[in-house]
């Protein structure tokens, strides 16, 4: 037996006999004490360390639009680069074994469906398959810029979405775990027509399950939702107004009995290109805006195509960590989560000091 293995073998026994494991135990008690004390001082650190998390993937910064309000400053001038599907699938596979993972995924961009044009026509379907086959709820966000009659990949995209909806259908009367989110506001070009086209196409293409479509708008643009429903009606779709049990006061519209459309609005925050817009509202301490849902709070870990993971989806200064190491390889999820805890702690302490020293908080 080589000497070092021999030593190692007896070192283990020695630890057991001479109480080295007591030292080990003491060290881990000191570590737990440190973690708990820091959690008490730094509240967001505790959130990041202890709350369940969901994962979002801003798969690319490329987009065919260059909207004036874009929080991520995306556009056609950005690199046509996408987080590799294997990297995303690797993180989903790691998270699924972690009891703290809330089993919810968000796929977005830039414009994720631009992958059909710039990258790989199988990319989107591969990601949806991965998330849904693990039993996750999946939300995919798009600007529907591709949903025009003459568009090269429109039919294939609708076909792929219908196929995924059919394969992961929980049953005829149940809603699919795949939600599609569409943008509807005065900044997205021709969005009423494109959203209406996508909703009509999808409601006619799939027959097996009910797909939820979430329309995301700004408070001021809320009337555009009524215009969208009118347009769907005008285009010959069958529309039923519904109030779902457990749906709050939300009104849902069933389109051709296959798609459920609902709308939510938020204020436009100052960030990215929206910094230049008059009606955008500054966010106070945006670095701490990373929780979703009041009743069952979770944190959002958002991976982007530049190699960062941020807390919160798209506002302001971020608590962040890199997902790539120096050699550009993906880091392990636990290491990223440890860095996010440290980054949250740094932000907490920075705020604490800022509040302590008069004048600094202005
Ligand atoms: S807001 Fe959406 S559609 Fe507009 S540039 Fe940004 S990612 Fe593209």
How confident is the prediction along the chain (362 residues), in pLDDT tens digits per residue? 444 444 444 444 454 555 667 777 888 888 888 888 888 888 888 888 999 999 999 999 999 999 988 888 899 999 999 999 999 999 999 999 999 999 999 999 999 999 999 999 999 999 999 999 999 999 999 999 999 888 899 999 999 999 999 888 776 556 788 999 999 999 999 999 999 999 999 999 976 778 899 999 998 999 999 999 999 999 999 999 987 666 567 789 999 988 999 999 988 887 777 878 888 888 777 777 777 766 678 889 999 999 999 988 765 567 889 999 999 999 999 999 999 999 989 988 888 888 887 665 54
Is residue 152 assigned to a domain? Answer: yes
- Same structural domain, 138 and 209: yes
Containing structural domain, residue 95: 54-318
* Residue 67 Cβ contacting ligand 1 at under 6 Å: yes
Distance CA 74, CA 76 (A): 7
Tell me, yes or no, if the pTM score tops 0.85: yes
Distance CA 165, CA 180 (A): 11
Is residue 281 assigned to a domain? Answer: yes
Phi first, then psi, for residue 278 (nearest 5°) are -65, -35
- Same structural domain, 138 and 259: yes
* Residue 345 Cβ contacting ligand 1 at under 6 Å: no
- Same structural domain, 191 and 267: yes
Which two three-digit tokens encode residue 196? 């209406």
- Same structural domain, 252 and 287: yes
pLDDT of residue 274: 80
Please report the sign of the dihedral spanned by the C-alpha atoms of residue 318, residue 323, residue 325, residue 326: negative
Sequence-ordered strand ranges (E) for the chain: 53-58, 101-108, 137-142, 175-183, 210-218, 239-242, 252-255, 259-266, 291-292, 298-304, 308-311, 320-322
Q: What is the crossing angle of helices 154-167 and 191-205, to 10°?
A: 50
Residue whose tokens read 């990297």: 87
pLDDT of residue 181: 97
- Same structural domain, 36 and 79: no
Which two three-digit tokens encode residue 151? 């568009």
Residue whose tokens read 């149940």: 174
Q: How far is the first Cα of the chain from the last one, in angstroms, to the nearest whole number?
A: 67
Ligand 1, pocket-test mutation among 188, 221, 274, 305, most atoms within 8 A of CB:
188
Structural contact between residues 56 and 106, judged by C-beta atoms closer than 8 angstroms: yes
pLDDT of residue 42: 84
Calculate how far, in angstroms, residue 63's C-alpha sits from the geometric centre of ligand 1: 6
Calculate how far, in angstroms, residue 61's C-alpha sits from the geometric centre of ligand 1: 9
* Residue 272 Cβ contacting ligand 1 at under 6 Å: no
Is residue 276 assigned to a domain? Answer: yes
Which two three-digit tokens encode residue 177? 């775990």
Neighbours of 129 (CB within 10 A): 17
Is residue 334 assigned to a domain? Answer: no
Calculate how far, in angstroms, residue 289's C-alpha sits from the geometric centre of ligand 1: 21
Phi first, then psi, for residue 279 (nearest 5°) are -85, 5
For ligand 1, atom 4, name the residue with the nearest CA: 67
- Same structural domain, 242 and 178: yes
pLDDT of residue 44: 83
- Same structural domain, 107 and 232: yes
What CATH code is carried by the domain that includes residue 271? 3.20.20
Distance CA 317, CA 146 (A): 31
* Residue 109 Cβ contacting ligand 1 at under 6 Å: yes
- Same structural domain, 13 and 110: no
- Same structural domain, 173 and 278: yes
- Same structural domain, 128 and 258: yes
* Residue 191 Cβ contacting ligand 1 at under 6 Å: no
Ligand 1, pocket-test mutation among 78, 106, 110, most atoms within 8 A of CB:
110
For ligand 1, atom 1, name the residue with the nearest CA: 70
Distances (CA, A) of 35 to 38, 43, 211: 5, 12, 43
- Same structural domain, 9 and 80: no
Ligand 1, pocket-test mutation among 72, 142, 187, 269, most atoms within 8 A of CB:
72
pLDDT of residue 330: 97
Is residue 132 assigned to a domain? Answer: yes
The tally of CA atoms less than 13 A away on the side-chain side of residue 26 is 5
Instruction: Determine if the peptide bond prior to 110 is cis (ω within 30°).
Output: yes
For ligand 1, atom 7, name the residue with the nearest CA: 110
Residue whose tokens read 């997205």: 188
Structural contact between residues 170 and 176, judged by C-beta atoms closer than 8 angstroms: yes
Ligand 1, pocket-test mutation among 65, 190, 273, 305, most atoms within 8 A of CB:
65
Overall domain count for the chain: 2
């Amino acid at each position: 037996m080589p000497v070092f293995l021999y030593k190692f073998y007896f070192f283990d026994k020695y630890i057991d006999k001479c109480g080295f494991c007591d030292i080990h135990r003491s060290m881990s008690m000191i570590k737990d004490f440190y973690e708990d004390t820091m959690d008490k001082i730094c509240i967001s650190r505790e959130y990041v360390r202890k709350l369940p998390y969901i994962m979002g993937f801003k798969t690319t910064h490329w987009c065919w639009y260059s909207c004036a309000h874009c929080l991520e400053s995306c556009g056609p001038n950005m690199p046509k680069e996408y987080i590799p599907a294997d990297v995303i699938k690797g993180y989903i596979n790691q998270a699924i074994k972690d009891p703290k993972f809330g089993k919810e995924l968000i796929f977005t961009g830039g414009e994720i469906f631009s992958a059909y044009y710039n990258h790989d026509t199988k990319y989107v379907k591969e990601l949806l398959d991965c998330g849904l086959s693990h039993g996750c709820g999946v939300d995919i966000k798009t600007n529907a810029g591709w949903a025009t009659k003459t568009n090269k990949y429109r039919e294939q995209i609708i076909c792929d979405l219908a196929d995924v909806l059919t394969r992961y259908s929980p049953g005829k009367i149940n809603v699919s775990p795949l939600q599609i989110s569409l943008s509807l506001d005065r900044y997205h070009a021709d969005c009423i027509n494109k959203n209406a086209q996508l909703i009509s196409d999808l409601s006619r293409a799939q027959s097996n399950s009910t797909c939820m479509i979430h329309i995301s708008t700004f408070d001021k643009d809320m009337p555009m939702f009524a215009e969208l429903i009118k347009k769907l009606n005008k285009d010959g779709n069958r529309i039923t107004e519904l109030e779902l049990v457990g749906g709050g006061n939300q009104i849902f519209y069933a389109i051709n009995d296959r798609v459920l459309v609902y709308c939510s609005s938020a204020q436009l925050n100052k960030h990215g290109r929206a910094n230049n817009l008059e009606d955008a509202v500054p966010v106070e301490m945006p670095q701490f805006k990373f929780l979703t849902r009041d009743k069952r709070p979770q944190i959002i870990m958002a991976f982007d195509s530049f190699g960062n993971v941020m807390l919160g989806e798209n506002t302001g200064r971020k608590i962040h960590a890199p997902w790539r190491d120096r050699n550009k390889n993906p880091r392990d999820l636990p290491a990223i989560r440890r860095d996010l805890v440290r980054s949250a702690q740094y932000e907490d302490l920075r705020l604490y000091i800022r509040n302590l020293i008069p004048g600094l908080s202005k």
